[in-house]
């Protein structure tokens, strides 16, 4: 039960990594803390429960990271993916702080995996949580409980009531019942709005009905909208989201990592009309997978089909859904509910355009291309002719949204007039757009959440205790 009569030192809106880092830091600084998680206990942790690693700067190898990942390389990577859509001061501060988070994380129960064998080659840049993000979230909740942080599940923050640049009260629903709470400081760590389909519809129209939301259904952006409506400065393009190509059979929400499909560079991708629409071999997959969500979103009915043959099938990670398999292309097209004649014609045209002679190498841009197609496939182009043939249906999968609240280096939320709000801080996805205004960098969301969560917790506790 929340205590209506009490004034908490720090109230945290949200229950994922950024919220927990803020809550634990504030509590360790001596503040009384209440954390409000809108999800039920079983689904606590927001999108953090689907994450796996954290990108960390380091100058020499340590127990969880190989080699070195210096500040400037990290910054260059960020600059490249965002196309400059970032704030250098905040970004560099985050990058530098990322090298010092391990001790704190481990002291608060997070366990890391010693070295990585599978998936992406991220062992140098990213530290992997043992068991993934849900294990990290579990560890933080255990710590939070031990420290005496009051944790409420099924509790949604409806409004942080700002008056004269400070939060005076907080309207919530606790297990469906409305309550009003008071706190000296508030940390907004409640994520983006990608699970709010009505909000998404404003930008994408009815196409959202064919979108898959990869993460939690509880990121509805309620706090974000509430703050922006009250004169908090916004950051990030409100229409943009990180969209990847997913197996179309994925559940609408919470399918997480397993519904991704890495088949595109080794296959051809056709739309519902059986036509190709983009160069599948433009670049290595980790650099291209984030554009395919948007590409598919622009196709009729927001669906596409990846088609390959027996030669290509072993080259990519298994998806959670079995490939649709057939001995002939016509049969495969029929199983995919595509026009068999059209698919056969597309594959025949593609096969005829493949330039033969180069050795195939799936580990680098191998220059095996087609010539004379619109569009051409510029790498890993091999004829599709060895049965059985495999197909996967693809849909756009939304990871997160970019719109957020503007913050300064002390995690204070800024008002439209540029002044920081008196007692309001933000961490995690709700402010990630300050640093990652575009694109995606694996494990960077967790870095931002951890670094800003700790800053927000520290600042909020200090302010509340003064």
Partner 1 sequence: MRETDALANARREMEICNACRYCEGFCAVFPAMELRREFSAGDLSYLANLCHNCRGCYYACQYAPPHEWGINVPRTFQELRAETYAEYAWPRRFAQLFDRNGTIVSLVTALGIALVLMLAAGLVDPDALYRAHPVVPGSFYAVIPLWAMQATGILTFGFSLIALAMGARNFWRDAGPRERPGPVALGIALWDVLTLKNLGGGGHGCNDASERFSMRRRWLHHAMFYGFFLCFAATCTAFVYGTLFGWEAPYALTSVPVLLGTVGGLLLLVGTVGLFAMKLVDDPMPAARNLLGADVALLMLLALAALTGLVLLALRGTGAMGIALAVHLGVILSLFVALPYSKMVHGVYRTAALLRRATERNMKPLGGE
Residue 120, interface with partner 1 (CB under 8 A)?
yes
Among 14, 15, 52, 183, binds partner 1 (CB under 8 A): 52
Residue 138, interface with partner 1 (CB under 8 A)?
yes
What does each C-alpha distance from 152 to 57, 84, 454 come to in angstroms? 34, 39, 20
Q: Report how far residue 194's alpha carbon sits from residue 416's, in angstroms, rounded to the nearest whole number.
A: 24
CB of 119 to partner 1, least distance (A): 5
Question: Segment 141-180, which members bind partner 1 (CB under 8 A)?
Answer: 141-142
Q: What is the torsional sign of CA 314, 319, 325, 331?
A: negative
Residue 445, interface with partner 1 (CB under 8 A)?
no
314 vs 356 by CB, closer to partner 1: 314
Stretch near partner 1 under the rule CB under 8 A, chosen from 19-27, 87-95, 313-321, 422-430? 313-321
The two tokens of residue 198 are 């009505």
DSSP, collapsed to helix, strand or coil, labels residue 287 as: helix
Residue 106, interface with partner 1 (CB under 8 A)?
no
Stretch near partner 1 under the rule CB under 8 A, chosen from 24-32, 225-233, 257-265, 411-419? 257-265
319 vs 346 by CB, closer to partner 1: 319
CB of 141 to partner 1, least distance (A): 7
Instruction: Please classify residue 404 by burial: count the beta carbons closer than 10 Å to its beta carbon, then call 0-12 exposed, 13-18 middle and 19+ buried.
Output: buried
Residue 139, interface with partner 1 (CB under 8 A)?
yes
CB of 50 to partner 1, least distance (A): 6
Question: Segment 316-345, which members bind partner 1 (CB under 8 A)?
Answer: 316-320, 322
The two tokens of residue 158 are 């409806």
Stretch near partner 1 under the rule CB under 8 A, chosen from 24-32, 126-134, 291-299, 431-439? 126-134
174 vs 321 by CB, closer to partner 1: 321
Residue 309, interface with partner 1 (CB under 8 A)?
no
Among 14, 16, 46, 132, binds partner 1 (CB under 8 A): 132
Q: Report how far residue 428's alpha carbon sits from residue 434's, in angstroms, rounded to the nearest whole number.
A: 10
Among 30, 70, 131, 231, binds partner 1 (CB under 8 A): 131
Residue 257, interface with partner 1 (CB under 8 A)?
yes
Residue 130, interface with partner 1 (CB under 8 A)?
yes
What does each C-alpha distance from 40 to 43, 156, 426 come to in angstroms? 6, 10, 22
Residue 391, interface with partner 1 (CB under 8 A)?
no
Q: Report how far residue 193's alpha carbon sits from residue 398's, in angstroms, rounded to the nearest whole number.
A: 11
Beta strand pairing call for 234-235 and 404-405: antiparallel
Entry field: residues in the chain: 466
The answer to whether 120 and 316 have CB atoms below 8 angstroms apart is no
Residue 203, interface with partner 1 (CB under 8 A)?
no
CB of 195 to partner 1, least distance (A): 15
Instruction: Please classify residue 236 by burial: count the beta carbons closer than 10 Å to its beta carbon, then call 0-12 exposed, 13-18 middle and 19+ buried.
Output: buried
DSSP 188: E
CB of 8 to partner 1, least distance (A): 25
Alpha-helical (H) ranges within 49-113 are: 71-82, 88-98, 102-107
Q: Report how far residue 384's alpha carbon sits from residue 61's, in angstroms, rounded to the nearest whole number.
A: 44
Among 251, 341, 349, 386, binds partner 1 (CB under 8 A): 251
Cis status, amide bond into 388, omega within 30 of 0:
yes
Cβ atoms within 10 Å of 301's Cβ, excluding its own:
12
Cα Rg, the chain, nearest whole Å = 24
| Residues in contact with 306: Cβ distance below 8 Å, sequence separation at least 6, in sequence order | 245, 261, 263, 264, 267, 268, 269, 391, 392, 394
Among 8, 69, 128, 425, binds partner 1 (CB under 8 A): 128
Residue 118, interface with partner 1 (CB under 8 A)?
yes
CB of 202 to partner 1, least distance (A): 28
Residue 114, interface with partner 1 (CB under 8 A)?
yes
Q: Which of 353, 335, 337, 357 is nearest to 345 (CA)?
A: 353
CB of 114 to partner 1, least distance (A): 7
Question: Segment 348-387, which members bind partner 1 (CB under 8 A)?
Answer: 363
Residue 50, interface with partner 1 (CB under 8 A)?
yes
Among 1, 4, 42, 417, binds partner 1 (CB under 8 A): 42
Q: Which of 359, 445, 398, 47 is nearest to 239 (CA)?
A: 398
Among 1, 4, 60, 117, binds partner 1 (CB under 8 A): 117
- Which residues in this chain contact partner 1 in the complex, by CB under 8 A? 42-43, 49-50, 52, 111, 113-114, 117-121, 128, 130-135, 138-139, 141-142, 251, 254, 256-259, 314, 316-320, 322, 363
């Amino acid at each position: 039960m929340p205590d209506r009569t009490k004034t908490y030192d720090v109230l945290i809106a949200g229950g994922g990594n950024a919220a927990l880092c803020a809550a634990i830091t504030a509590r360790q600084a001596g503040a009384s803390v209440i954390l409000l998680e809108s999800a039920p206990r079983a689904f606590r942790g927001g999108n953090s429960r689907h994450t796996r690693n954290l990108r960390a700067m380091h100058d020499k190898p340590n127990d969880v990271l190989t080699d070195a990942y210096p500040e400037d390389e990290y910054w260059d990577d960020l600059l490249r993916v965002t196309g400059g859509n970032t704030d250098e001061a905040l970004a560099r501060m985050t990058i530098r702080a990322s090298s010092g988070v391990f001790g704190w994380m481990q002291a608060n129960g997070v366990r890391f995996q010693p070295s990585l064998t599978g998936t992406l080659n991220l062992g140098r840049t990213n530290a992997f949580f043992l068991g993934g993000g849900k294990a990290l979230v579990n560890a933080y909740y255990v710590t939070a409980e031990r420290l005496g942080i009051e944790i409420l599940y099924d509790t949604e923050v409806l409004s942080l009531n700002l008056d004269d640049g400070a939060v005076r009260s907080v309207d919530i629903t606790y297990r469906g019942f409305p309550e009003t709470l008071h706190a000296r400081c508030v940390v907004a760590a409640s994520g983006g709005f990608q699970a709010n389909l009505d909000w998404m519809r404003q930008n994408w129209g009815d196409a959202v009905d064919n979108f898959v939301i990869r993460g939690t259904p509880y990121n509805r952006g309620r706090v974000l909208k509430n703050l922006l409506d009250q004169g908090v400065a916004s950051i990030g393009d409100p229409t943009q989201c990180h969209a990847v190509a997913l197996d179309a059979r994925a559940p609408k929400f919470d399918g997480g990592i397993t519904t991704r499909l890495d088949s595109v560079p080794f296959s051809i991708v056709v739309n519902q009309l059986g036509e190709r629409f983009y160069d599948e071999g433009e670049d290595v997959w980790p650099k291209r997978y984030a554009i395919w969500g948007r590409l598919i979103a622009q196709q009729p009915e927001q669906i596409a089909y990846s088609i390959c043959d027996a030669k290509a099938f072993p080259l990519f990670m298994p998806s959670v859904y079995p490939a649709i398999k057939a001995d002939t292309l016509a049969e495969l097209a029929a199983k995919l509910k595509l026009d068999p004649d059209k698919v056969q014609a597309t594959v025949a045209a593609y096969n005829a355009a493949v330039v033969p002679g180069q050795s195939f190498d799936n580990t680098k841009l191998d220059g095996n291309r087609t010539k004379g197609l619109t569009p051409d496939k510029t790498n890993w182009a091999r004829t599709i002719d060895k049965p059985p043939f495999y197909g996967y249906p693809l849909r756009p999968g939304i990871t997160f949204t970019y719109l957020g609240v503007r913050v300064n280096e002390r995690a204070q939320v800024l008002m439209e007039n540029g002044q920081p709000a008196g007692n309001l801080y933000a961490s995690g996805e709700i402010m990630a757009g300050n640093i990652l205004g575009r694109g995606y960098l694996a494990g960077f969301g967790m870095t931002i959440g951890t670094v800003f969560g700790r800053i927000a917790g520290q600042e909020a506790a200090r302010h509340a205790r003064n």
